[in-house]
Structure 1
Protein backbone atom coordinates (compact mmCIF):
# COMPACT_ATOMS: atom_id res chain seq x y z
CA UNK A 1 0.00 0.00 0.00
CA UNK A 2 1.38 3.39 -1.00
CA UNK A 3 1.47 6.08 1.69
CA UNK A 4 1.78 9.77 0.84
CA UNK A 5 3.78 11.90 3.28
CA UNK A 6 3.16 15.60 3.89
CA UNK A 7 4.24 18.22 6.45
CA UNK A 8 2.52 21.39 7.60
CA UNK A 9 2.85 24.04 10.30
CA UNK A 10 -0.30 25.22 12.07
CA UNK A 11 -0.74 28.32 14.21
CA UNK A 12 -1.79 27.82 17.83
CA UNK A 13 -1.69 30.12 20.87
CA UNK A 14 2.00 30.75 21.52
CA UNK A 15 3.51 29.68 18.22
CA UNK A 16 3.54 27.19 15.35
CA UNK A 17 3.08 23.44 15.60
CA UNK A 18 4.78 21.02 13.19
CA UNK A 19 2.46 18.27 11.91
CA UNK A 20 3.31 15.27 9.71
CA UNK A 21 0.62 13.32 7.87
CA UNK A 22 0.80 9.77 6.48
CA UNK A 23 -2.06 9.17 4.00
CA UNK A 24 -2.58 5.65 2.62
CA UNK A 25 -4.08 5.38 -0.85
CA UNK A 26 -7.86 5.46 -0.67
CA UNK A 27 -8.03 5.80 3.13
CA UNK A 28 -11.23 7.51 4.29
CA UNK A 29 -11.58 6.33 7.89
CA UNK A 30 -10.95 8.59 10.87
CA UNK A 31 -7.24 9.35 11.34
CA UNK A 32 -5.07 8.16 14.19
CA UNK A 33 -3.27 11.06 15.88
CA UNK A 34 -0.01 10.32 17.72
CA UNK A 35 0.92 12.27 20.88
CA UNK A 36 4.57 11.90 21.85
CA UNK A 37 6.28 11.31 25.19
CA UNK A 38 8.16 13.75 27.44
CA UNK A 39 11.35 13.79 25.38
CA UNK A 40 9.69 12.92 22.09
CA UNK A 41 8.99 14.43 18.69
CA UNK A 42 7.52 13.47 15.33
CA UNK A 43 10.87 12.16 14.09
CA UNK A 44 11.30 9.92 17.13
CA UNK A 45 8.29 7.84 16.14
CA UNK A 46 10.62 6.69 13.32
CA UNK A 47 8.92 4.24 10.93
CA UNK A 48 6.05 3.36 13.26
CA UNK A 49 3.49 5.89 11.89
CA UNK A 50 3.90 4.69 8.32
CA UNK A 51 3.65 1.05 9.38
CA UNK A 52 0.58 1.89 11.48
CA UNK A 53 -1.02 3.61 8.49
CA UNK A 54 -0.36 0.59 6.27
CA UNK A 55 -1.57 -1.97 8.80
CA UNK A 56 -4.76 -0.12 9.75
CA UNK A 57 -5.49 1.49 6.39
CA UNK A 58 -6.04 4.79 8.20
CA UNK A 59 -4.44 8.20 7.89
CA UNK A 60 -1.93 8.81 10.68
CA UNK A 61 -0.86 12.21 12.01
CA UNK A 62 1.80 13.18 14.52
CA UNK A 63 2.80 16.58 15.86
CA UNK A 64 5.56 18.20 17.91
CA UNK A 65 4.22 19.94 21.00
CA UNK A 66 5.26 23.56 21.45
CA UNK A 67 8.91 23.65 22.50
CA UNK A 68 9.68 20.24 20.95
CA UNK A 69 11.16 19.06 17.66
CA UNK A 70 10.37 21.46 14.83
CA UNK A 71 7.62 23.42 16.59
CA UNK A 72 8.17 26.92 18.00
CA UNK A 73 10.63 27.33 20.85
CA UNK A 74 9.49 27.98 24.39
CA UNK A 75 11.58 29.81 26.97
CA UNK A 76 9.34 30.02 30.05
CA UNK A 77 9.66 26.96 32.31
CA UNK A 78 7.00 24.30 31.87
CA UNK A 79 4.17 24.42 34.39
CA UNK A 80 2.46 21.58 36.30
CA UNK A 81 -0.72 22.18 34.30
CA UNK A 82 0.93 21.26 30.99
CA UNK A 83 -1.22 18.16 30.49
CA UNK A 84 -4.40 20.17 31.00
CA UNK A 85 -3.11 22.82 28.58
CA UNK A 86 -2.51 20.24 25.86
CA UNK A 87 -6.02 18.82 26.26
CA UNK A 88 -7.86 22.12 26.65
CA UNK A 89 -5.88 24.56 24.49
CA UNK A 90 -3.35 23.13 22.05
CA UNK A 91 -4.94 19.94 20.74
CA UNK A 92 -8.35 21.58 20.15
CA UNK A 93 -6.58 24.39 18.27
CA UNK A 94 -4.65 21.91 16.12
CA UNK A 95 -7.75 19.83 15.37
CA UNK A 96 -9.65 22.98 14.44
CA UNK A 97 -7.01 24.25 12.02
CA UNK A 98 -6.68 20.81 10.41
CA UNK A 99 -10.46 20.50 10.14
CA UNK A 100 -10.60 17.17 11.95
CA UNK A 101 -14.18 16.19 12.68
CA UNK A 102 -13.50 12.85 14.36
CA UNK A 103 -10.29 11.04 15.21
CA UNK A 104 -8.55 8.36 17.25
CA UNK A 105 -5.93 9.50 19.78
CA UNK A 106 -2.83 7.34 20.37
CA UNK A 107 -0.53 8.65 23.10
CA UNK A 108 2.76 7.30 24.39
CA UNK A 109 3.80 7.90 28.02
CA UNK A 110 2.69 11.40 29.05
CA UNK A 111 1.15 11.61 25.58
CA UNK A 112 -1.18 8.83 26.70
CA UNK A 113 -2.32 10.94 29.62
CA UNK A 114 -2.81 13.87 27.28
CA UNK A 115 -4.84 11.67 24.92
CA UNK A 116 -7.18 10.61 27.71
CA UNK A 117 -7.56 14.17 28.99
CA UNK A 118 -8.22 15.42 25.46
CA UNK A 119 -10.81 12.67 24.89
CA UNK A 120 -12.60 13.71 28.07
CA UNK A 121 -13.24 17.20 26.72
CA UNK A 122 -13.67 16.27 23.03
CA UNK A 123 -16.96 14.41 23.44
CA UNK A 124 -17.98 12.34 20.40
CA UNK A 125 -15.21 13.87 18.27
CA UNK A 126 -12.78 11.37 19.81
CA UNK A 127 -13.78 7.90 18.63
CA UNK A 128 -11.23 5.90 20.65
CA UNK A 129 -8.08 6.27 22.74
CA UNK A 130 -4.97 4.09 22.72
CA UNK A 131 -2.86 4.80 25.81
CA UNK A 132 0.59 3.25 25.61
CA UNK A 133 2.73 3.27 28.79
CA UNK A 134 0.60 6.14 30.10
CA UNK A 135 1.06 7.44 33.64
CA UNK A 136 -2.22 7.75 35.54
CA UNK A 137 -0.78 9.30 38.72
CA UNK A 138 2.65 9.95 40.23
CA UNK A 139 4.18 6.70 41.40
CA UNK A 140 7.46 6.20 43.27
CA UNK A 141 8.74 4.10 40.36
CA UNK A 142 8.02 7.02 38.03
CA UNK A 143 10.04 9.43 40.15
CA UNK A 144 12.92 6.97 40.56
CA UNK A 145 13.06 6.40 36.80
CA UNK A 146 13.07 10.13 36.12
CA UNK A 147 15.83 10.80 38.67
CA UNK A 148 17.94 8.05 37.13
CA UNK A 149 17.35 9.41 33.64
CA UNK A 150 18.17 12.98 34.73
CA UNK A 151 21.46 11.80 36.23
CA UNK A 152 22.35 9.95 33.05
CA UNK A 153 21.89 13.11 30.95
CA UNK A 154 24.66 14.84 32.90
CA UNK A 155 26.90 12.89 30.55
CA UNK A 156 27.47 14.89 27.38
CA UNK A 157 27.04 11.91 25.10
CA UNK A 158 23.68 11.11 26.62
CA UNK A 159 22.52 14.71 26.41
CA UNK A 160 23.49 14.81 22.74
CA UNK A 161 20.78 12.22 22.12
CA UNK A 162 18.17 14.83 23.07
CA UNK A 163 19.95 17.56 21.10
CA UNK A 164 19.87 15.34 18.02
CA UNK A 165 16.09 15.67 17.93
CA UNK A 166 15.49 19.03 19.59
CA UNK A 167 18.62 21.06 18.83
CA UNK A 168 18.89 24.21 20.94
CA UNK A 169 15.59 23.30 22.59
CA UNK A 170 17.16 20.25 24.27
CA UNK A 171 17.78 21.78 27.72
CA UNK A 172 14.25 23.16 27.87
CA UNK A 173 12.82 19.79 26.80
CA UNK A 174 14.75 17.92 29.49
CA UNK A 175 13.79 20.40 32.21
CA UNK A 176 10.15 20.38 31.11
CA UNK A 177 10.12 16.68 31.94
CA UNK A 178 12.33 16.30 34.99
CA UNK A 179 11.74 19.53 36.86
CA UNK A 180 7.95 19.38 36.62
CA UNK A 181 7.53 15.69 37.46
CA UNK A 182 9.99 15.88 40.37
CA UNK A 183 8.46 19.04 41.83
CA UNK A 184 6.36 19.01 44.99
CA UNK A 185 3.63 20.89 43.10
CA UNK A 186 3.12 17.91 40.78
CA UNK A 187 3.13 15.17 43.41
CA UNK A 188 -0.67 14.93 43.70
CA UNK A 189 -1.37 14.98 39.96
CA UNK A 190 -3.55 12.23 38.50
CA UNK A 191 -5.84 11.55 35.55
CA UNK A 192 -8.77 10.87 37.88
CA UNK A 193 -10.61 14.15 37.13
CA UNK A 194 -10.72 13.20 33.44
CA UNK A 195 -11.21 9.44 33.36
CA UNK A 196 -14.90 9.42 34.25
CA UNK A 197 -15.57 11.76 31.33
CA UNK A 198 -14.03 9.41 28.74
CA UNK A 199 -16.92 7.57 27.07
CA UNK A 200 -15.21 6.25 23.94
CA UNK A 201 -13.46 2.84 23.78
CA UNK A 202 -10.02 2.79 25.43
CA UNK A 203 -7.07 0.43 24.96
CA UNK A 204 -4.44 0.71 27.71
CA UNK A 205 -1.17 -1.05 26.82
CA UNK A 206 1.70 -1.36 29.29
CA UNK A 207 4.97 -3.26 29.48
CA UNK A 208 5.39 -5.36 32.61
CA UNK A 209 8.99 -4.11 32.90
CA UNK A 210 8.22 -0.42 32.34
CA UNK A 211 10.87 1.55 34.22
CA UNK A 212 8.58 4.57 34.61
CA UNK A 213 5.50 2.97 36.10
CA UNK A 214 3.81 -0.23 37.21
CA UNK A 215 0.74 -1.98 35.88
CA UNK A 216 -1.27 0.02 38.42
CA UNK A 217 -1.39 2.72 35.74
CA UNK A 218 -3.35 0.84 33.04
CA UNK A 219 -5.51 -0.71 35.76
CA UNK A 220 -6.45 2.75 37.06
CA UNK A 221 -7.26 3.83 33.50
CA UNK A 222 -9.52 0.92 32.53
CA UNK A 223 -11.31 0.98 35.88
CA UNK A 224 -11.78 4.76 35.76
CA UNK A 225 -13.07 5.46 32.26
CA UNK A 226 -16.80 5.53 31.58
CA UNK A 227 -16.66 3.74 28.24
CA UNK A 228 -15.57 0.21 27.28
CA UNK A 229 -11.93 -0.41 28.14
CA UNK A 230 -9.36 -3.10 27.50
CA UNK A 231 -6.04 -3.60 29.29
CA UNK A 232 -3.11 -5.39 27.65
CA UNK A 233 0.09 -6.14 29.59
CA UNK A 234 3.06 -6.92 27.35
CA UNK A 235 5.47 -9.47 28.81
CA UNK A 236 9.19 -8.66 29.10
CA UNK A 237 8.58 -5.19 27.70
CA UNK A 238 9.74 -1.79 28.90
CA UNK A 239 8.50 1.76 28.39
CA UNK A 240 8.39 1.86 24.57
CA UNK A 241 6.24 -1.05 23.35
CA UNK A 242 5.81 0.36 19.83
CA UNK A 243 9.56 -0.02 19.41
CA UNK A 244 10.21 -3.07 21.58
CA UNK A 245 7.13 -5.06 20.48
CA UNK A 246 6.04 -3.32 17.30
CA UNK A 247 4.31 -6.32 15.74
CA UNK A 248 2.34 -7.07 18.89
CA UNK A 249 1.33 -3.43 19.31
CA UNK A 250 0.15 -3.19 15.69
CA UNK A 251 -1.90 -6.37 16.09
CA UNK A 252 -3.48 -5.11 19.31
CA UNK A 253 -4.33 -1.73 17.81
CA UNK A 254 -5.85 -3.30 14.72
CA UNK A 255 -8.01 -5.75 16.64
CA UNK A 256 -9.08 -3.06 19.14
CA UNK A 257 -10.24 -0.66 16.43
CA UNK A 258 -12.04 -3.43 14.54
CA UNK A 259 -13.75 -4.88 17.60
CA UNK A 260 -14.74 -1.40 18.79
CA UNK A 261 -16.34 -0.64 15.43
CA UNK A 262 -14.40 2.60 14.99
CA UNK A 263 -15.32 4.05 11.57
Structure 2
Protein backbone atom coordinates (compact mmCIF):
# COMPACT_ATOMS: atom_id res chain seq x y z
CA UNK A 1 0.00 0.00 0.00
CA UNK A 2 1.26 3.53 -0.71
CA UNK A 3 2.67 5.50 2.19
CA UNK A 4 0.52 8.33 3.54
CA UNK A 5 1.71 11.72 4.74
CA UNK A 6 -0.42 13.50 7.34
CA UNK A 7 -0.70 17.18 8.18
CA UNK A 8 -3.15 19.46 9.94
CA UNK A 9 -4.51 22.96 9.55
CA UNK A 10 -6.67 25.55 11.27
CA UNK A 11 -9.35 27.00 9.03
CA UNK A 12 -10.78 30.43 9.95
CA UNK A 13 -14.41 31.16 9.18
CA UNK A 14 -17.06 33.64 10.26
CA UNK A 15 -17.73 32.04 13.65
CA UNK A 16 -14.26 30.95 14.71
CA UNK A 17 -11.75 28.26 13.68
CA UNK A 18 -12.13 24.74 12.39
CA UNK A 19 -9.58 21.97 12.90
CA UNK A 20 -8.75 19.92 9.80
CA UNK A 21 -6.43 17.00 9.10
CA UNK A 22 -5.06 15.76 5.78
CA UNK A 23 -3.98 12.28 4.66
CA UNK A 24 -2.10 12.35 1.36
CA UNK A 25 -0.83 9.11 -0.22
CA UNK A 26 2.50 9.25 -2.01
CA UNK A 27 0.86 8.28 -5.29
CA UNK A 28 -1.92 10.87 -5.18
CA UNK A 29 -2.18 13.06 -8.27
CA UNK A 30 -2.71 16.78 -7.76
CA UNK A 31 -5.37 16.79 -10.46
CA UNK A 32 -7.61 14.31 -8.63
CA UNK A 33 -10.37 15.64 -6.39
CA UNK A 34 -9.74 15.03 -2.68
CA UNK A 35 -12.28 13.35 -0.41
CA UNK A 36 -13.75 15.52 2.35
CA UNK A 37 -15.10 13.60 5.35
CA UNK A 38 -18.09 14.84 7.37
CA UNK A 39 -18.47 13.18 10.76
CA UNK A 40 -21.53 11.99 12.67
CA UNK A 41 -23.45 13.61 15.56
CA UNK A 42 -20.97 12.62 18.29
CA UNK A 43 -17.94 12.43 16.02
CA UNK A 44 -14.80 14.38 15.24
CA UNK A 45 -11.60 13.93 13.26
CA UNK A 46 -10.03 11.66 15.89
CA UNK A 47 -13.03 9.31 15.93
CA UNK A 48 -12.54 8.42 12.26
CA UNK A 49 -9.50 6.55 13.66
CA UNK A 50 -7.59 4.69 10.90
CA UNK A 51 -10.27 4.90 8.24
CA UNK A 52 -9.05 8.12 6.53
CA UNK A 53 -5.62 6.58 6.03
CA UNK A 54 -7.16 3.38 4.67
CA UNK A 55 -9.39 5.40 2.35
CA UNK A 56 -6.47 7.48 1.08
CA UNK A 57 -4.41 4.37 0.40
CA UNK A 58 -7.21 2.50 -1.34
CA UNK A 59 -8.40 5.38 -3.54
CA UNK A 60 -5.01 7.07 -3.98
CA UNK A 61 -6.67 10.38 -3.26
CA UNK A 62 -6.02 12.95 -0.59
CA UNK A 63 -8.48 12.71 2.30
CA UNK A 64 -9.44 15.71 4.43
CA UNK A 65 -11.50 15.51 7.64
CA UNK A 66 -12.58 18.43 9.77
CA UNK A 67 -14.21 18.94 13.14
CA UNK A 68 -17.51 20.75 12.71
CA UNK A 69 -17.95 23.81 14.89
CA UNK A 70 -18.61 22.71 18.47
CA UNK A 71 -16.85 19.36 18.00
CA UNK A 72 -13.36 17.99 18.61
CA UNK A 73 -10.71 20.68 18.43
CA UNK A 74 -12.80 23.26 16.58
CA UNK A 75 -14.14 26.33 18.36
CA UNK A 76 -17.35 26.10 20.43
CA UNK A 77 -20.75 26.60 18.86
CA UNK A 78 -22.67 29.64 20.16
CA UNK A 79 -25.92 28.37 21.64
CA UNK A 80 -28.20 25.58 20.46
CA UNK A 81 -28.41 24.09 17.00
CA UNK A 82 -31.44 25.24 15.06
CA UNK A 83 -33.49 22.86 12.96
CA UNK A 84 -31.72 23.89 9.76
CA UNK A 85 -28.23 22.92 10.93
CA UNK A 86 -27.87 20.07 8.42
CA UNK A 87 -28.52 22.19 5.35
CA UNK A 88 -26.62 25.16 6.84
CA UNK A 89 -23.32 23.25 6.97
CA UNK A 90 -22.95 23.60 3.20
CA UNK A 91 -22.94 27.40 3.23
CA UNK A 92 -20.98 27.75 6.47
CA UNK A 93 -18.08 25.57 7.54
CA UNK A 94 -17.91 23.43 4.40
CA UNK A 95 -17.75 26.46 2.11
CA UNK A 96 -15.10 28.07 4.31
CA UNK A 97 -13.00 24.89 4.29
CA UNK A 98 -13.09 24.64 0.50
CA UNK A 99 -12.20 28.31 0.05
CA UNK A 100 -9.41 28.40 2.62
CA UNK A 101 -7.82 25.16 1.39
CA UNK A 102 -8.34 26.05 -2.29
CA UNK A 103 -10.44 23.00 -3.16
CA UNK A 104 -12.18 23.65 -6.48
CA UNK A 105 -13.46 20.07 -6.81
CA UNK A 106 -14.16 17.59 -4.03
CA UNK A 107 -15.79 14.25 -3.28
CA UNK A 108 -17.93 14.53 -0.15
CA UNK A 109 -18.15 11.46 2.13
CA UNK A 110 -20.41 11.71 5.16
CA UNK A 111 -21.30 9.35 8.00
CA UNK A 112 -24.75 9.46 9.66
CA UNK A 113 -25.87 13.10 9.91
CA UNK A 114 -22.64 13.90 8.07
CA UNK A 115 -24.06 11.94 5.13
CA UNK A 116 -27.11 14.20 5.08
CA UNK A 117 -24.75 17.17 5.19
CA UNK A 118 -22.72 15.70 2.32
CA UNK A 119 -25.83 15.56 0.14
CA UNK A 120 -26.66 19.11 1.21
CA UNK A 121 -23.18 20.23 0.16
CA UNK A 122 -23.61 18.66 -3.28
CA UNK A 123 -27.00 20.34 -3.66
CA UNK A 124 -25.64 23.74 -2.67
CA UNK A 125 -22.33 23.49 -4.57
CA UNK A 126 -22.98 21.50 -7.76
CA UNK A 127 -19.96 23.04 -9.48
CA UNK A 128 -17.64 21.93 -6.67
CA UNK A 129 -18.93 18.47 -5.70
CA UNK A 130 -17.83 15.73 -8.06
CA UNK A 131 -19.54 12.88 -6.18
CA UNK A 132 -21.15 11.99 -2.85
CA UNK A 133 -20.78 8.93 -0.64
CA UNK A 134 -23.21 8.56 2.25
CA UNK A 135 -22.81 6.00 5.01
CA UNK A 136 -25.65 5.25 7.45
CA UNK A 137 -27.17 8.62 6.55
CA UNK A 138 -30.60 9.89 7.53
CA UNK A 139 -32.95 11.45 4.99
CA UNK A 140 -35.95 11.79 7.30
CA UNK A 141 -36.96 11.08 10.91
CA UNK A 142 -38.35 7.58 11.46
CA UNK A 143 -39.33 5.59 14.54
CA UNK A 144 -36.11 3.57 14.52
CA UNK A 145 -34.08 6.77 14.60
CA UNK A 146 -35.98 8.11 17.60
CA UNK A 147 -35.74 4.79 19.43
CA UNK A 148 -31.99 4.62 18.86
CA UNK A 149 -31.40 8.20 19.99
CA UNK A 150 -33.62 7.67 23.04
CA UNK A 151 -31.69 4.54 24.03
CA UNK A 152 -28.39 6.38 23.60
CA UNK A 153 -29.65 9.27 25.77
CA UNK A 154 -30.45 6.79 28.52
CA UNK A 155 -27.05 5.11 28.20
CA UNK A 156 -25.20 8.43 28.45
CA UNK A 157 -27.06 9.26 31.66
CA UNK A 158 -25.14 6.52 33.44
CA UNK A 159 -22.10 7.41 35.54
CA UNK A 160 -18.88 7.83 33.58
CA UNK A 161 -20.42 7.83 30.12
CA UNK A 162 -20.04 11.57 29.46
CA UNK A 163 -16.33 11.21 30.17
CA UNK A 164 -16.08 9.11 27.00
CA UNK A 165 -17.07 12.17 24.99
CA UNK A 166 -14.80 14.47 26.98
CA UNK A 167 -11.78 12.55 25.69
CA UNK A 168 -12.55 13.88 22.22
CA UNK A 169 -14.56 17.08 22.78
CA UNK A 170 -13.18 18.36 26.08
CA UNK A 171 -15.46 20.81 27.87
CA UNK A 172 -17.75 20.86 24.82
CA UNK A 173 -18.87 17.27 25.49
CA UNK A 174 -22.17 18.11 27.20
CA UNK A 175 -23.06 20.46 24.32
CA UNK A 176 -22.21 17.74 21.78
CA UNK A 177 -24.51 15.24 23.46
CA UNK A 178 -27.32 17.76 23.82
CA UNK A 179 -26.97 18.90 20.22
CA UNK A 180 -27.65 15.32 19.15
CA UNK A 181 -30.32 13.99 21.47
CA UNK A 182 -32.24 17.20 22.15
CA UNK A 183 -32.42 18.11 18.47
CA UNK A 184 -33.54 14.73 17.17
CA UNK A 185 -36.02 14.16 20.00
CA UNK A 186 -37.52 17.64 19.68
CA UNK A 187 -41.15 17.46 18.53
CA UNK A 188 -40.44 20.39 16.22
CA UNK A 189 -37.85 18.31 14.33
CA UNK A 190 -40.14 15.34 13.57
CA UNK A 191 -41.08 16.61 10.11
CA UNK A 192 -37.50 17.25 9.00
CA UNK A 193 -36.48 15.60 5.74
CA UNK A 194 -33.83 16.05 3.07
CA UNK A 195 -36.16 15.75 0.09
CA UNK A 196 -35.61 19.24 -1.33
CA UNK A 197 -31.82 18.98 -1.11
CA UNK A 198 -31.73 15.49 -2.61
CA UNK A 199 -33.71 16.68 -5.63
CA UNK A 200 -30.89 19.16 -6.38
CA UNK A 201 -28.06 16.58 -6.23
CA UNK A 202 -26.90 15.95 -9.80
CA UNK A 203 -23.54 14.30 -9.28
CA UNK A 204 -23.09 10.52 -8.80
CA UNK A 205 -24.10 9.29 -5.35
CA UNK A 206 -23.34 6.06 -3.49
CA UNK A 207 -25.55 5.31 -0.47
CA UNK A 208 -24.11 2.70 1.94
CA UNK A 209 -26.15 1.35 4.83
CA UNK A 210 -25.76 -1.51 7.29
CA UNK A 211 -28.64 -3.95 7.29
CA UNK A 212 -28.53 -3.96 11.11
CA UNK A 213 -28.33 -0.17 11.54
CA UNK A 214 -29.97 0.72 14.84
CA UNK A 215 -30.63 4.33 13.80
CA UNK A 216 -32.24 3.88 10.40
CA UNK A 217 -33.96 1.30 8.22
CA UNK A 218 -33.13 0.63 4.55
CA UNK A 219 -35.79 3.20 3.72
CA UNK A 220 -33.14 5.84 4.45
CA UNK A 221 -30.66 4.92 1.68
CA UNK A 222 -33.58 4.14 -0.63
CA UNK A 223 -34.60 7.77 -0.42
CA UNK A 224 -31.09 8.91 -1.32
CA UNK A 225 -31.00 6.54 -4.27
CA UNK A 226 -34.43 7.45 -5.63
CA UNK A 227 -34.70 11.21 -5.08
CA UNK A 228 -31.36 12.42 -6.42
CA UNK A 229 -31.34 13.80 -9.94
CA UNK A 230 -28.02 12.20 -10.88
CA UNK A 231 -26.91 8.56 -11.11
CA UNK A 232 -27.24 6.84 -7.75
CA UNK A 233 -26.32 3.47 -6.28
CA UNK A 234 -27.47 1.92 -3.02
CA UNK A 235 -25.70 -0.91 -1.26
CA UNK A 236 -26.81 -2.66 1.91
CA UNK A 237 -23.89 -4.05 3.89
CA UNK A 238 -24.75 -7.36 5.60
CA UNK A 239 -23.94 -7.77 9.25
CA UNK A 240 -23.30 -4.06 9.75
CA UNK A 241 -24.73 -1.65 12.27
CA UNK A 242 -24.48 2.12 12.24
CA UNK A 243 -20.69 2.45 11.77
CA UNK A 244 -19.67 0.28 8.80
CA UNK A 245 -16.30 2.02 8.34
CA UNK A 246 -15.36 0.74 11.81
CA UNK A 247 -17.25 -2.57 11.80
CA UNK A 248 -16.41 -3.68 8.25
CA UNK A 249 -14.00 -1.20 6.67
CA UNK A 250 -13.06 -3.63 3.91
CA UNK A 251 -16.69 -3.82 2.76
CA UNK A 252 -16.92 -0.01 2.67
CA UNK A 253 -13.71 0.27 0.65
CA UNK A 254 -14.82 -2.51 -1.70
CA UNK A 255 -17.88 -0.40 -2.53
CA UNK A 256 -16.22 3.03 -2.59
CA UNK A 257 -13.10 2.28 -4.65
CA UNK A 258 -14.83 1.12 -7.87
CA UNK A 259 -17.48 3.84 -7.51
CA UNK A 260 -14.82 6.58 -7.43
CA UNK A 261 -12.76 4.87 -10.16
CA UNK A 262 -15.56 5.68 -12.62
CA UNK A 263 -15.25 9.43 -12.07
CA UNK A 264 -13.67 11.59 -14.73
CA UNK A 265 -11.47 14.03 -12.84
Q: Do they superpose with TM above 0.5? A: yes
| Structure 1 unaligned blocks of 5 or more | none
> Which segments of 5 or more consecutive residues in structure 2 lack a partner in the other structure?
none
The equivalent of 1:202 in structure 2 is 205
Say if 2:177 is the partner of 1:165.
Answer: no
Residues 211-250 of structure 1 correspond to what in structure 2 (within 5 A)? 211-250=214-253
Match of 1:153 among 152, 156, 169: 156
- Spell out structure 1 runs of 4+ moving beyond 2 A: none
SS in 2 for 1:65: coil
Partner residue in 2 for 1:20 = 21
The number of residues matched between the two structures is: 262
Superposition deviation, residue 26 in structure 1: 3.6
Query: Could you give the per-residue CA deviations for residues 4-49 of structure 1, whole angstroms, max 9, x where no partner exists?
Result: 1101001112110000001111412110010000000000000000
2:118 is the counterpart of 1:115: yes
Matched position secondary structure for 1:123: coil
CA-to-aligned-CA distance 1:191-244 (integer Å, 9 cap, x gap):
101011100000000001100000000001100000000000011110000011
Provide the rounded CA distance (Å) in 1 between the counterparts of 2:112 and 2:49. 16
Aligned partners of 1:72, 1:80: CA distance in 2, in Å? 20
Asked if residue 86 in structure 1 is aligned to residue 89 in structure 2, the reply is yes
**What SS does structure 1 have at the residue aligned with 2:141?**
coil
Distance 1:187 1:131, change over 3 A: same
Is 1:52 equivalent to 2:49 in the alignment? no
Matched, 1:106 2:109: yes
Q: Distance in 1 between matches of 2:174 and 2:197?
A: 30
Aligned partners of 1:86, 1:96: CA distance in 2, in Å?
A: 14
SS in 1 for 2:209: strand
User: What's the TM-score, normalizing by structure 2?
Assistant: 0.97
- The CA RMSD over aligned residues, in Å, is 0.9
Deviations 1:124-169 (A, max 9, x none): 2100000000000000100010000001001122221111111110
TM-score normalised to structure 1 length: 0.98
Could you tell me how far 1:251 is from its partner in structure 2? 1.1
Contact (CA 8 Å) 1:128, 1:262: kept in 2 or not? no
For residue 2 of structure 1, what is the aligned residue in structure 2? 3
Residue 63 (1) aligns with residue 70 (2): no
CA distance in 2, matches of 1:105, 1:152: 31
